[in-house]
Amino acid sequence: MKKYFITTLLLGLIAACSNNSNNNNNSDSSSTTVAPAANDITANPDYKKGLALIAANDCLTCHKIDEKVTGPAYRDVANKYENTDANVKMLADKVIKGGSGNWGTVPMTPHPALTEADAEQMVKYILLLRNK
């Protein structure tokens, strides 16, 4: 039930934040395209895919975007690790295998059922949350 609620909440958030051009009440027949802001990470496909994978798993039980729960806040992780291929692979490996020591003594539960590709997609989403 908790997963269903969280998934529903996140999907609602995604829908609310998405650009819906069907709500244009302008009677002008010409269409204009507005480019997304350069800092709008929600337009990034890695953001959308990673968020969906995180919502479908148990990640939000121990992590929040801006708040430390059992594990570190996602934004703290993003601010600690630069968004490089090497860091994506290393962090995805930690997601799959679990571990402790980088953020205190509480171990992260391993997630062996995740594929490497899915874990990497989740990490890409997290690293997009870096403060500029």
Amino acid identity of residue 130, one-letter, is R
Taking only the tens place, the pLDDT of each residue in 81-129 is 999 999 999 999 999 999 888 898 999 999 999 999 999 999 999 999 9
Neighbours of 11 (CB within 10 A): 13
Q: Which residues are bridge partners to 99 per DSSP?
A: 108
Question: Which domains, and CATH codes, for the chain?
Answer: 2-16+45-127 (1.10.760.10)
Band (39; pLDDT cuts 50, 70, 90): confident
Q: What angle do CA 118, 119, 125 make, to 5 degrees?
A: 90
Supply the DSSP symbol for 59: G
> Which residue blocks in the chain are alpha helix, DSSP H?
2-17, 45-56, 74-80, 85-97, 116-127
Average pLDDT score over the chain: 81
Range 71-83 average pLDDT: 96
